[in-house]
Structure 1
Amino acid sequence: MMQVKDLVRVFVKGGIISPGDFLKVLLIAEKLGAQNIHFGSRQDILFAAKEKSKAILDETFQSIKTEYEINTFEYQNILSSYVALDILPGKKWLASHIYHYILNAFDYRTKLRINVVDPSQALVPLFTGQVNFIASSQENYWYVYLRFKRIQNAPWQMPLLVYTEDLVKIAKALEDNDITENDWDYKAIFEFLTENVNMNTQPVTENLILPETHFPYYEGIHRQADEKYWLGLYWRNNQYKITTLKAIIERCIETEVGKVTLTPWKSFVIKGILEKDRLGWEKLMGKFGMNLRHSALELNWHLPALDQEALDLKFYLVRELDKQDISTYGLTFTIKSSTDITLFTSVVIEKAEGENMYNLLYSKNFNPNLNEYRYYAKDVHKTVLAPLIVELSLVYYESLNEETQESPKVKSIRDNIEKELYQCIHCQTVYDAEYGDPEAAVAPGTTFNELPGDYVCPTCGGKKDGFQKLSIA
Structure 2
Amino acid sequence: MRKYSKIKINFAGGIISPGLLYQLLEHLEHAGVQQVSFGLRQQLLTNCPTRKIKPLTTFLEQSNLFYEINNDAFPNIVTSCPAEDIFIAHTWLSEGTYKDILNAIDYPPRFKINISDSHQSFTPLLTGNINWVASASVPHFWHLLIRFPKTNTIYEWDKMVYTNDIARLSKEIEALILNNKTLFYDQPGADGTTFFLRIQEKQYITKPAEQRAVLPEFNLPYYEGLHKHNNRYWLGVYRRDELFPVAFLKDLCSICLQTKIGQLCSTPWKSVIVKGIEEKDKHLWNALLNIHTINMRHAANELNFQVEDNNSKATRLKQYLVKELNNTDTRTFGLCIGIKTRKKSEIFSSILVKRKPVLPIRGYALFYLYDILCAHDYNPNKRTGYIFRSNLPRFLLAGNLRKSLAAFYDQCTHQELPFRGSVTSPVTASAFTEEPIYQCAHCLTVYDATTGDPENGIPAGTAFATLPHTYTCSLCEANKDQFIKIEQESLNRQYL
TM range (shorter): 0.7 to 0.9
> SS of the counterpart of 2:254?
helix
Q: Answer yes or no: is the 8 Å Cα contact 2:233–2:277 preserved in 1.
A: yes
- Could you tell me how far 1:352 is from its partner in structure 2? 2.8
Q: State the partner residue of 1:193.
A: 199
- Could you tell me how far 1:224 is from its partner in structure 2? 1.8
Q: State the partner residue of 1:23.
A: 22
- Could you tell me how far 1:52 is from its partner in structure 2? 5.6
Separation in 2, partners of 1:203, 1:76:
30
Q: 1:200 to 1:109 in 2, by over 3 A?
A: same
Residue 391 of structure 2, aligned match among 379, 401, 411:
379
Q: Answer yes or no: is the 8 Å Cα contact 2:307–2:347 preserved in 1.
A: no
Residue 226 of structure 2, aligned match among 209, 221, 230:
221
Deviations 1:226-261 (A, max 9, x none): x11111101111121111211122122112222110
Q: Answer yes or no: is the 8 Å Cα contact 1:115–1:126 preserved in 2.
A: yes
Separation in 1, partners of 2:67, 2:341:
26
| Percent identity for Structure 1 against Structure 2 | 31
Residue 263 of structure 1, aligned match among 267, 275, 278:
267
Q: State the partner residue of 1:313.
A: 317
- Could you tell me how far 1:71 is from its partner in structure 2? 2.2
Q: State the partner residue of 1:437.
A: none
> SS of the counterpart of 1:244?
helix
Q: Answer yes or no: is the 8 Å Cα contact 2:371–2:389 preserved in 1.
A: yes
- Could you tell me how far 1:403 is from its partner in structure 2? 4.1
- Could you tell me how far 1:53 is from its partner in structure 2? 5.7
Separation in 2, partners of 1:269, 1:170:
30
Q: State the partner residue of 2:282.
A: 278
Query: Structure 1 length normalisation: TM-score?
Result: 0.82
Q: State the partner residue of 2:380.
A: 368
Query: Structure 2 length normalisation: TM-score?
Result: 0.78
Q: 1:216 to 1:248 in 2, by over 3 A?
A: same
Deviations 1:369-421 (A, max 9, x none): 111321111111212222222222221122235745737xx97x635779xxx
Separation in 2, partners of 1:416, 1:49:
68
Q: Answer yes or no: is the 8 Å Cα contact 2:31–2:53 preserved in 1.
A: no
Deviations 1:117-136 (A, max 9, x none): 01211110011111000001
Residue 335 of structure 2, aligned match among 331, 334, 337:
331
Q: 1:335 to 1:372 in 2, by over 3 A?
A: closer
- Could you tell me how far 1:194 is from its partner in structure 2? 3.2
Query: Which amino acid in structure 2 is aligned with residue 279 of structure 1?
Result: H
**1:206 aligned to 2:211?**
yes
Q: Answer yes or no: is the 8 Å Cα contact 2:222–2:300 preserved in 1.
A: yes
- Could you tell me how far 1:56 is from its partner in structure 2? 2.5
Query: Which amino acid in structure 2 is aligned with residue 211 of structure 1?
Result: P
- Could you tell me how far 1:367 is from its partner in structure 2? 0.8
**1:388 aligned to 2:400?**
yes
> SS of the counterpart of 1:57?
helix
Separation in 2, partners of 1:214, 1:364:
15
| 1:28-427 aligned within 5 A | 28-51=27-50, 55-90=54-89, 92-137=91-136, 138-150=138-150, 152-177=151-176, 178-179=178-179, 181-184=181-184, 185-194=191-200, 198-225=203-230, 227-354=231-358, 355-400=367-412, 403-404=415-416, 406=418, 414=423
Separation in 2, partners of 1:349, 1:416:
47
Q: 1:269 to 1:179 in 2, by over 3 A?
A: farther
Separation in 1, partners of 2:413, 2:227:
29
Separation in 2, partners of 1:124, 1:38:
18
Q: Answer yes or no: is the 8 Å Cα contact 1:220–1:232 preserved in 2.
A: yes
Separation in 2, partners of 1:118, 1:361:
27
Separation in 2, partners of 1:346, 1:405:
25
- Could you tell me how far 1:306 is from its partner in structure 2? 2.0
Query: Which amino acid in structure 2 is aligned with residue 31 of structure 1?
Result: H
Separation in 2, partners of 1:50, 1:180:
40
Q: 1:401 to 1:210 in 2, by over 3 A?
A: farther
Q: Answer yes or no: is the 8 Å Cα contact 2:9–2:65 preserved in 1.
A: yes
- Could you tell me how far 1:201 is from its partner in structure 2? 0.6
- Please tell me the root mean square deviation across aligned C-alpha atoms, in Å: 2.3
Query: Which amino acid in structure 2 is aligned with residue 217 of structure 1?
Result: Y
Separation in 1, partners of 2:292, 2:327:
28
Q: 1:50 to 1:161 in 2, by over 3 A?
A: same
Gap runs ≥5 in structure 1: 419-473
Q: Answer yes or no: is the 8 Å Cα contact 1:26–1:242 preserved in 2.
A: yes
Query: Which amino acid in structure 1 is aligned with residue 194 of structure 2?
Result: A
Q: State the partner residue of 1:455.
A: none
> SS of the counterpart of 2:255?
helix
Deviations 1:140-166 (A, max 9, x none): 00000000145x412110110000011
> SS of the counterpart of 1:400?
coil
